Amino acid sequence: MLEAVMGKMARAHAEAGESKPLHAGLSALLLELLFRHALQDEARAGAYTTQRRTMLLETARKHRSSFAADVSSFEVPAVRTHADAFLRELRKALRDRLPKRAMLRAAVAALREAGLPEDPWPYVEPQLERHGHVFGFAVTGALGGARKFVVRNGLRLMAMGSSDND
C-alpha cells in the first residue's frame, strides 16, 4: 500500500511543474524523507536529494521578500491533485512507519544546508490549518490556538532533542 501511495506522490511531483523553486524544493524534500525513512529506499531518496538541494539553494540565494507567502501557499502536489482522500490514504499507509524525530531533524538539516529558516513551524502551520480536519485536529478557536501552541513547541523540542525515539 505504501508503495502505491508513494508512487502517486512521485507522479504528482513530476507532473506539477512547480513555478516556485521553494515549492519544488519542499516537495522534493518530502519525497526524499519519505523514501529514506518510511521505505528505507536510499536510491529513490537520493533521486530527490539533488533536486531538493538545487531548488532550496536557489530560494535562499534570492532572499526573496515573498518567502513567507511562498511557504504558506505551498501544498504537496499529490494533495492538490487528489485532495483530502490522498491524505487519509497516506496516513493509513504510513501508520507506525515513520521515525518522526529523525525525519524532522533531517528536514531541519536540509533547510539549514540551504540557508533557509530552520524553524519547522512556518512550514507546518499552513498545512495544519489547511488539512488538520482530515486528522481530527481542529485549529480554530481557543482550543485550536492551544493545540497549535503545543504542536509548535513539540516541533521545536523534537528538532532540538537528542533522542531519535518517536
pLDDT in tens, 33-48: 999 998 899 999 999 9
Cβ pair 53, 116 in contact under 8 A? no
| Structural domain spans, the chain | 2-160
Tell me what the pLDDT averaged over the chain comes to: 85
Kindly report the pTM of this predicted structure: 0.82
Neighbours of 132 (CB within 10 A): 18
CB atoms within 10 A of CB 160: 10
Q: pLDDT tens across 118-137, in order?
A: 888 888 888 888 888 787 77
Arithmetic mean of pLDDT, 101-109: 88
Residue 50: predicted pLDDT: 94
Kindly state the average pLDDT of the residues 103-130.
88
3-state secondary structure (DSSP) of residue 160: helix
The 10s digit of each residue's pLDDT in 61-79 is 885 667 888 888 998 899 8
Residue 112's nearest CA partner among 38, 53, 28, 49 is 53
